[in-house]
A and B are shown apart, each in its own frame.
Chain A
Amino acid sequence: NAGVTQTPKFQVLKTGQSMTLQCAQDMNHEYMSWYRQDPGMGLRLIHYSVGAGITDQGEVPNGYNVSRSTTEDFPLRLLSAAPSQTSVYFCASRPLGSFYEQYFGPGTRLTVT
């Protein structure tokens, strides 16, 4: 098992550009989520999904879109990047009924200039 993979590892964007952060898992987990981590603020939930075709907003969803067309993939889209979106982004997955088997990806460090 590769676990949870994220690409790219690093990205620099200019204000107004768009991009997609990729997240994939090979554990057949129903639940997937995206978090952002900023210095001194812990992780904050952006969006999550409980299965293919089902997504919902987390604590800080503004400026981000998600879709879940397959169980394996959960991409995060930035439509028009802003400097406030400079952060480290983590994707996570787990079985729907269990918090015990929760896995996090290695993160994507995004800088918006």
Chain B
Amino acid sequence: KQEVTQIPAALSVPEGENLVLNCSFTDSAIYNLQWFRQDPGKGLTSLLLIQSSQREQTSGRLNASLDKSSGRSTLYIAASQPGDSATYLCAVALQGAQKLVFGQGTRLTINP
């Protein structure tokens, strides 16, 4: 059974710092991996999607990497801003299935 873990559960950093969020998964037979953002009381917004054949994806200040063999992904946020404060979730899509398995999320707070 695929399990997705995100560490830490919460992170607080001062504005302007570069930071890394971690995601690990137990079964490397994935179709893709996605990072989502969730603001309090809201739904999820997709940030980045990495296909299983790719190593990384970039969007603005965000860079996500994927190492399938070790079962790890990282989300790098450069020059953090207070507006980046949110919960970040990673999810893997299983090969041959129409399902996403989510991690527990990392609650990020950027302090002005």
Contacts and interface: CB of A to CB of B under 8 A. Distances in A.
Check if A and B associate.
yes
A38 B40 CA distance: 14
A44 B65 CA distance: 24
A90 B105 contact: no
Contact of B98 (A31, A35, A107): A31
B42 interface: yes
Contacts, number: 52
B49 A41 contact: no
Q: What DSSP secondary structure best describes chain B's contact surface?
A: strand
Chain A: interface residue count, which band? 20 to 34
Contacts of A4: 43
Contacts of B46: 100, 102
A104 interface: yes
B13 interface: no
Interface residues of B, number: 24
B108 to A, nearest CB: 15
Contact of A45 (B43, B44, B89, B100): B100
Interface of A: 4, 31, 33, 35, 40-45, 48, 50, 58-59, 90, 92, 96, 99-100, 102, 104-107
16 contacts: A4-B43, A31-B98, A41-B104, A43-B91, A43-B102, A45-B101, A48-B99, A59-B101, A96-B98, A99-B34, A100-B46, A100-B49, A104-B44, A106-B42, A106-B43, A107-B43
